[in-house]
Structure 1
Amino acid sequence: MVSRRAVVTGASTGIGEATVRALRASGWDVVGVARREERLAALAAETGASAIACDLTDQDAVDALVAELDRSGPVHALVQVAGGARGTDSVADGSAADWQWMFDANVLSAQRLVAGLLPLLRRAAEEDGHADAVFVTSTAAQVAYPGGAGYNAAKAAESMLVKVLRQELNGEPIRVVEIAPGMVHTEEFTLNRLRGDSVAAESVYAGVEEPLLAEDVADVIVYALSAPRRVNLDLVTMRPVAQSAQHLLARGPLRPRGLGD
């Protein structure tokens, strides 16, 4: 039986890297995609995945990526993880350059990938019965919060792209899945958002008992891809237990109340 092949973006770190590892452990052929070629090469050597360096904000680079994927084999699944946030400014003080980058990295990159890879997904669905497109958005797409405006707007736009795509593909055996994590403690997301301020980045997670890990999100992605083909996980919202809502975050030990202590 020929293994199914997935393309995972944002594969050099965080959720993307964890997804490459999890899919390889589940028997998938995986192509990891990210900008940083050295980190991709190390991941490929460790996991047996393939690697293609690509800047998804560059249309010519995406065109070359699609051509290489088309040449090298079928694409049964796209897992779009790449994206990111820059800054925590208010709307009034926001940097237009940061907002432009967030829209390009989170929304236009997803659109470029869909436009390029949909013919390959359709071909795989014709040959094997179904294909998948999974998008990792964020709870920031669902609930606004001060300091999040640019990222809120970009992730909300990406979420709408996913919802519209699912409707556009109605009648085709292609599942369109959205996974929206809340607080995930990864190596670089908050550090990059806060422009390399490691003290400020760690303070975001201070006192939070067991924030989500990249591996937790990867586990959900693997389930979404391995579920019976009749099952589509339209939207999975996942948060750590300590985060009951976007604005409600417990800092300190989690313990039952009312037990006489």
Structure 2
Amino acid sequence: MKRLSGRRPRHAARTAFRATVALVALSLTVGMARADFVVLAASGASGALQPGARLADDATLTLPDGAKVTLMSRDGRMLTLEGAYSGPLDQPLEAAAAAKGNDGALQKLSRLLQGGGARSTVLGAARAGAGDIPPPPGIWHISVDSSGPRCVQPGALQLWRRDAGQDSPVTLRSASGRRDGLAFAKDRHVLAVENAVSEDDDRLLVSLGDELRDLALAHRPDTLADASPGELLVWMLDSDCKRQALTLIGRVHAGQPLD
């Protein structure tokens, strides 16, 4: 039996469910009691557990061998359970911890994960390195395949593209200046650019040949320099960096480093 969260099991009477019965029971629990967990990712023979499902903290889970589930609690902790496993989701939250919990974050996660394409994005990140075209190497790699919000951290800006079939000239423009003479080399998915933006830049225009990407930047605050994955995930959601949030979930589910 493997339980990656390291928590103590509850009384044995609460673990005496067969896998199929327990999974059905979990699906019936949603909405019947206060939901203190959301399913972030599920793989293997995880049955009725679907990403975005809300679960009560006293729910009991049975996972067959090969199944794996990653959850986030109301108070921002991420935990992974791997089959074969039979037991509670987690130790009951104390009243004080539950009072400080962020149900809004769980609601955002639930809506995001129930959207079309979210599951494939998460599992694609969890299988990083598989296939001919890799997913972004980490959560701080900034996709330039489309416009939209991006979360960045101090240091070199790691630009990432999915299609590396040809050389591509790159120009960067922000309020703090313009950078010319950059290029993605053929077969290279990542372009690292030092001093690409300042902390005051909230917008970055990226020209890739004849294509233009407009990126809205959210800078990781210093208070999150040593943040837990759960804290980073909540911040990315609040900053609308949805794709990076999904990549974070996928890498945690796979047991991989975030960077």
How high is the TM-score relative to the length of structure 1?
Answer: 0.22
- Highest Rg: 1 or 2? 2
Higher normalized helix content (fraction of residues) = 1
